[in-house]
A and B are shown apart, each in its own frame.
Chain A
Amino acid sequence: MLKGLRVVELAELIAGPYCAKLLGDLGADIVKVEPPEGDAARRLGPFVDGTPGEDRSIPFLHLNTSKRAVTLDTTTPRGAALLRSLLADAELLITDRVPSQMAACGIGIDDLLEAQPSLVVLALTPYGMTGPYRDYRAYPLNTFHAAGEGYITPVASHLMPRVTDRPPLRHGRFAGEYKLATYAGMLALAAVYHARATGVGQVIDLSKQEALIGLNYVEFQPWLTGALPVATRDSRAVAFGGIMQCSDGEVQFTFHEQHHWDSLVKLMGSPAWADEEWAATHASRLQHGEQINVHLKEWMRHQSRNDIVREGQLIGCTVAPYNTIDEVYASEQMEVRQFFQPVTHPVAGTHDYPTAAYRFDDAVIHPGPAPSLGHDNDRVFGEQLGLSAEERRELRAQGII
């Protein structure tokens, strides 16, 4: 899909590299620029077979598929000059360096665009390039909580009625980073589309905090328009249903429409309590959440998860199994869609990697392996930028590449 798109990645850890990976997995040519000691994600566990090593970090292997990689000390004048030469061939720069860091390596984004007006620069920083917090320090946990999403996670339910005893929570380990990086990739592609049509490139100032706020608009909108008070983990409680325990695992029940409730009643064999007046309307059921949960729990204690899901879905019940990670990996649906694809890495070995949520004309996505540190130095600095073997040796001796 993205064959012919030339991208330079000057980023590390999660969001920036993931954004470039999404493009690389679809055929874009990604040159990842790492400092001589490598992307910090190379030191992030867990590791393949539990053995640390710069080519064994599971997050790194996943976040850097389908890329070429060079090492470059961009804080040296010679390194910065090489980066500029590399960018001369590129259409898109993905960077997570804040403006002061870019300036430190002698590269001003405005200067880059002046020299190369059709370049698109995606500046993916924690709080953006302007505003009082532009130089604030942040790790992924901070930017996630900065966007208001943690404050209402998890919401109260029968599983955890007094949830505010505990701190607000992130989603997954890096879910916020993955999510905003996908959004960032969309914006970058739009700007490249525009640049190819018009010759006009631009800077995209994307604050991670703002990307996540924008992607949470559904939750903020009712408060913003005065329809609901500020959402808290208590005020957004799930009155009944939600995650429920079966004899052999958990399921998720969701009730939006009357027919969702009716089909559950049918699935339960139309018990007498469901016929009572207080159970007739959604509004009334919301008032009797605890009572309903008592009945549901009693019934579900004796049901197997697979039976409830299979029979429930047949009659229109909005029920789904709460899958553990091994169950996701083994799921028949994922298998039919070939969501996992084998990727062979010379050091880490062959493993099934998760691919993507989309297929184009039913084609399976085949990521290439993540590169070893400096894997493409010779090809990129030699063949692409025309440095002789002698010059490269010298740069290596000086610790620049």
Chain B
Amino acid sequence: MPDAVTPPASAGALAGVRVLDFTWAVSGPTATMMLASLGAEVIKVESPRRPDVVRRNPPLMASTNRQKRTITLNLGHPAAIDLAKRLVAISDVVAESFRPKVMDGFGLGYGALREIREDIIMLSSSMAGQHGPSSHFAGYAPMFVALSGLGEMTGYEDGPPAQIRIGADIVAGVHGGFALLAALFHHQATGEGTHIDLSAIESQSCLIGDSLLEFAANGTSPRRSGNDEPGVAPHDCYRCAGDDRWVSIVVTSDEEWARFVGAMGTPAWASDAGYADSQSRWQNRHRLAHDIETWTSARTASEVTSILQAAGVAAIPSYPADELFADPHIVERDMVANIPGPARVWPVIRLGGKLARTPLLVDRACPDMGNDNAYVFQELLGLSEDELRGLAEDGAFA
């Protein structure tokens, strides 16, 4: 393969792909951040009248919109819509996360975009999808969890559904990223564009796919069951030394059980007939947890992990953030990057995955609003400084 067509390794797997990004808040911007991290040129559009709500939270803004360029457009202004359309003509992907119909209102619906560029790929990310009785719902992450069934399937067996605070926006974002890559693959193979209609609720439902099929197939509604896996014990987190410190331990066979017991120094309780085989251990799992904690609670989670892993038993701490990022494995795997932003250098969490030839890019935090107006409007669209000034005076960027 001639070197001429091989982009430099630092360019990323999606070098040459351009994304016009109207998304805001967290779900949509996470999808496009993933594309930017893979090397796409992502141009984030904001309006100074309605800045992205995440701008109120600078560290989150820096991270969620890393690797992007930023421009301002007043989408209430006809000249701004005209500029947006000229940008569509030179983009491969348009992404948006407004409520359904809002893009149509701007004259930037999929049909209009196709008239500008027939092979455009468009992502519309919303809470419930573009159609249907719930498509107008106002939506935030905890509501996706509630509506999807994921919340119902999370919690202690004898308790209420668990209040989850983590990750629902990102789940929608990663499904958006996956769908965009599938569309880019299709475009590369056929030259055709597509419109992706993503439902954040369904993205959470996908995380309990087997539970949904269980109901559809057997007619019984599965319920939350803590950390339990039927027939397997130990399969839980166990209390360790320290305040609110825990280790997860899983033992799936008699052979692993023997190693587990040996690693603990063969305590007397382990020879209890109630722990003799998998089925008995499962039935007596609550008593077993109590016995295991007599051993774990005298040790730190990392001591327990070292002892058990040395014996080939699956164990790892349930990490709080400070211990996670100080952990020698995570330090060696280099999971935090310090990247320059407009006001300071921000530490950000890297996305997972070491791509040998096209490493994920993480070297720029989100710029201030409109940072790249000159590059985008002058270099990419070829406007003169006079034209730019005229449009600005007219309020197109306000």
B348 adjacent to A186 (CB under 8 Å):
no
B332 adjacent to A149 (CB under 8 Å):
no
The proximity string for B residues 238-250 relative to A, scoring 1 for CB distances below 8 Å and 0 otherwise, is 1100001010101
A190 adjacent to B13 (CB under 8 Å):
yes
**Closest CB-CB distance, A217 to chain B, in whole Å?**
4
Please choose the segment from B43-51, B307-315, B371-379 that sits at the chain A interface, where 4 or more of its residues have CB less than 8 A away: B307-315
Q: A178-B209, A238-B165 are in contact. Are A183 and B174 (CB under 8 A)?
A: yes
A354 adjacent to B199 (CB under 8 Å):
no
- Which positions 238-262 of chain A face chain B at CB distance < 8 Å? 238, 242-243, 250-252, 254, 256
**Closest CB-CB distance, A129 to chain B, in whole Å?**
8
Q: How far is the CA of A204 from the CA of B354 in the complex (A)?
A: 6
Interface size for A (C-beta < 8 A) is: 153
A137 adjacent to B178 (CB under 8 Å):
no
A324 adjacent to B154 (CB under 8 Å):
no
Please choose the segment from B75-83, B269-277, B318-326, B381-389 that sits at the chain A interface, where 4 or more of its residues have CB less than 8 A away: B318-326
Residue numbers in A under 8 Å from B237 (CB-CB): 145, 150, 167-168
- Which positions 185-220 of chain B face chain A at CB distance < 8 Å? 185-186, 188-189, 194-203, 205-218
A214 adjacent to B163 (CB under 8 Å):
no
Q: A49-B218, A173-B153, A318-B143 are in contact. Are A145 and B184 (CB under 8 A)?
A: no
Closest to B137 in A: A313
Our pick among A22, A150, A201, A329 for the contact of B248 (Cβ within 8 Å) is: A150
Closest to B355 in A: A204
B280 in contact (CB, < 8 A)? no
Q: A3-B189, A216-B166 are in contact. Are A325 and B132 (CB under 8 A)?
A: no
Q: A62-B213, A194-B358 are in contact. Are A218 and B60 (CB under 8 A)?
A: yes
Residue numbers in A under 8 Å from B195 (CB-CB): 360-362
Residue numbers in B under 8 Å from A145 (CB-CB): 237, 246, 248, 316-319
A31 in contact (CB, < 8 A)? no
A194 adjacent to B143 (CB under 8 Å):
no
Q: How far is the CA of A204 from the CA of B249 in the complex (A)?
A: 28
A sample of 9 inter-chain contacts (CB < 8 A) reads A1-B183, A167-B226, A172-B208, A182-B178, A186-B181, A191-B358, A194-B357, A199-B6, A325-B149
Residue numbers in A under 8 Å from B153 (CB-CB): 171-173, 175, 325
B162 adjacent to A187 (CB under 8 Å):
no
Our pick among A62, A63, A153 for the contact of B162 (Cβ within 8 Å) is: A153
A254 adjacent to B199 (CB under 8 Å):
no
A154 in contact (CB, < 8 A)? yes
B147 in contact (CB, < 8 A)? yes
Please choose the segment from B100-108, B227-235, B390-398 that sits at the chain A interface, where 4 or more of its residues have CB less than 8 A away: B227-235
B246 adjacent to A325 (CB under 8 Å):
no
**Closest CB-CB distance, A249 to chain B, in whole Å?**
11
B349 adjacent to A213 (CB under 8 Å):
yes
Q: A4-B189, A214-B349 are in contact. Are A323 and B147 (CB under 8 A)?
A: yes
Most chain B beta carbons < 10 A, residue from A179, A201, A242, A332? A179
Closest to A122 in B: B353
Residue numbers in A under 8 Å from B86 (CB-CB): none
A322 adjacent to B170 (CB under 8 Å):
no
Chain B residues touching A, majority SS? mixed
A150 adjacent to B165 (CB under 8 Å):
no
B352 adjacent to A223 (CB under 8 Å):
no
A325 adjacent to B152 (CB under 8 Å):
yes
Residue numbers in B under 8 Å from A252 (CB-CB): 142-143, 145-146, 151
B178 adjacent to A62 (CB under 8 Å):
no
A322 adjacent to B151 (CB under 8 Å):
yes
B356 in contact (CB, < 8 A)? yes
**Closest CB-CB distance, A207 to chain B, in whole Å?**
6
Q: How far is the CA of A196 from the CA of B189 in the complex (A)?
A: 9
Chain B residues proximal to chain A, CB less than 8 Å? 1, 5-7, 13-14, 16, 26, 34, 38, 57, 59-60, 63-64, 128-129, 131-143, 145-156, 159-167, 169-172, 174-179, 181-186, 188-189, 194-203, 205-218, 221-223, 225-227, 229-231, 235-239, 244, 246, 248, 250, 252, 309, 312-322, 324-325, 328-330, 332-333, 335-336, 346-358
Q: How far is the CA of A326 from the CA of B132 in the complex (A)?
A: 19
Residue numbers in A under 8 Å from B145 (CB-CB): 252
**Closest CB-CB distance, A30 to chain B, in whole Å?**
14
A200 in contact (CB, < 8 A)? yes
**With A160-B159, A358-B198 already in contact, 7 other A-B pairs whose C-beta atoms are closer than 8 Å:** A141-B250, A151-B318, A190-B355, A206-B352, A217-B63, A254-B143, A352-B213
A191 adjacent to B138 (CB under 8 Å):
no
B174 adjacent to A186 (CB under 8 Å):
yes
A230 adjacent to B320 (CB under 8 Å):
yes
B356 adjacent to A205 (CB under 8 Å):
yes
Q: How far is the CA of A211 from the CA of B177 in the complex (A)?
A: 14
Closest to B176 in A: A358
A160 adjacent to B160 (CB under 8 Å):
yes
The proximity string for A residues 23-45 relative to B, scoring 1 for CB distances below 8 Å and 0 otherwise, is 00010000000000000000001
Residue numbers in B under 8 Å from A291 (CB-CB): none
**Closest CB-CB distance, B127 to chain A, in whole Å?**
9
Residue numbers in A under 8 Å from B156 (CB-CB): 166, 169
- Which positions 1-34 of chain A face chain B at CB distance < 8 Å? 1-5, 22, 26
Closest to B25 in A: A256
B185 adjacent to A225 (CB under 8 Å):
no
**Closest CB-CB distance, B195 to chain A, in whole Å?**
6
List 3 tightest A-B contacts by C-beta distance, closest first: A154-B162, A210-B352, A252-B146
A398 in contact (CB, < 8 A)? no
Residue numbers in B under 8 Å from A112 (CB-CB): none
A168 adjacent to B318 (CB under 8 Å):
yes
A340 in contact (CB, < 8 A)? yes
Our pick among B152, B188, B230, B244 for the contact of A193 (Cβ within 8 Å) is: B188
Q: How far is the CA of A138 from the CA of B106 in the complex (A)?
A: 50
B147 adjacent to A151 (CB under 8 Å):
no
**Closest CB-CB distance, A43 to chain B, in whole Å?**
10
A202 adjacent to B138 (CB under 8 Å):
no
B140 adjacent to A1 (CB under 8 Å):
no
- Which positions 30-72 of chain A face chain B at CB distance < 8 Å? 45-46, 48-50, 58-59, 61-63
Our pick among A2, A187, A223 for the contact of B353 (Cβ within 8 Å) is: A187
A325 adjacent to B212 (CB under 8 Å):
yes
B209 adjacent to A243 (CB under 8 Å):
no
**Closest CB-CB distance, B148 to chain A, in whole Å?**
7
Closest to A178 in B: B207
Q: How far is the CA of A296 from the CA of B184 in the complex (A)?
A: 48
Our pick among A189, A191, A198, A337 for the contact of B202 (Cβ within 8 Å) is: A337
Q: How far is the CA of A166 from the CA of B223 in the complex (A)?
A: 18
Closest to B289 in A: A167
Residue numbers in B under 8 Å from A127 (CB-CB): 329
A320 adjacent to B216 (CB under 8 Å):
no
B356 adjacent to A204 (CB under 8 Å):
yes
A146 in contact (CB, < 8 A)? yes
B213 adjacent to A354 (CB under 8 Å):
yes
Residue numbers in B under 8 Å from A149 (CB-CB): 166-167
**Closest CB-CB distance, B48 to chain A, in whole Å?**
19
